[in-house]
Amino acid sequence: MARAQDGDRVAYHRLLTEISPFLRSLATPRLRDGADVEDAIQDILLTVHAIRHTYDPARPFAPWLVTIAKRRLVDRLRGWGRIRRREVAMEREHEAVAEPQSDTGLDGHHLQAAVETLPPAQQKALRLVKLQDMSLKDASHASGMSVVALKVNVHRALKNLQRLFSDRIQP
């Protein structure tokens, strides 16, 4: 890692290649599916790449790497927990016959068009926090907005959409 920090591309490629099996051994017991494990490994490698400058060559590399890996795995599991809290298991009685769309004429295309009418900051906040289900902290890093600004923009976006759709639905 120290050589990689000094700009040695070959050493950096070798480092990433050699730590992947170790990361897989950390991720496999925690994640169910092979695709999830591979996604987690890529996420960890991206994080290592993004914060490689924080590694201190005077200290051991393994604890630094394990800390990053465990935090990314916990973040991934928390994300699943947020999703599972919103999901409801489908039972036989929940199955429905396809019904014709209501005469409001609202569908996914209308929603997307409505989102695109929002100011850019509101669009970005809504997409990251509500549609991509990112935590406020992750969305803050991705957007460059503070957590407070994200909350305000999501709230305003939802209010604007609510107002827009209530105007369309009213006879």
Q: What is the pLDDT of residue 32?
A: 76
DSSP letters along the chain, please?
-HHHHTT-HHHHHHHHHHHHHHHHHHHTTT-SSHHHHHHHHHHHHHHHHHTGGG--TTS-HHHHHHHHHHHHHHHHHHHHHHHHHH-----GGG-----PPPTT---HHHHHHHHHTS-HHHHHHHIIIIIS---HHHHHHHH---HHHHHHHHHHHHHHHHHHHHHHH--
**Domains of the chain, residue spans:** 2-86, 108-169
Q: What is the pLDDT of residue 85?
A: 67
How many whole angstroms separate alpha carbon 37 and alpha carbon 43? 10
- In tens digits, the chain (171 residues) has pLDDT values of 999 888 889 999 999 999 999 999 999 998 877 888 999 999 999 999 999 999 999 999 999 999 999 999 998 888 776 766 666 666 666 666 555 455 555 567 777 888 888 999 999 999 998 888 888 898 999 999 999 999 999 999 999 888 887 766 555
Cβ-in-10-Å burial (0-12, 13-18, 19+) of 15 comes to buried
Q: Where are the beta strands (DSSP E) in the chain?
A: none
Q: What is the pLDDT of residue 114?
A: 84
- Tokens 């070798």 found at: 14
Residue type, 147: V
Q: Percentages helix, strand, coil for the chain, rounded to the nearest 5? A: 75, 0, 25
* Residues shown for the chain: 171
CATH of 108-169, one of 1.10.3720.10, 3.40.50.300, 1.10.10.10, 3.30.70.260: 1.10.10.10
**CATH assignment, 2-86:** 1.10.1740.10
Helix (H, G, I), strand (E, B) or coil at 98: coil
The continuous run of DSSP H or E covering 59 comes out as: none
Report pTM. 0.49
Asked if residues 53 and 73 have their Cβ atoms less than 8 Å apart, the reply is: no
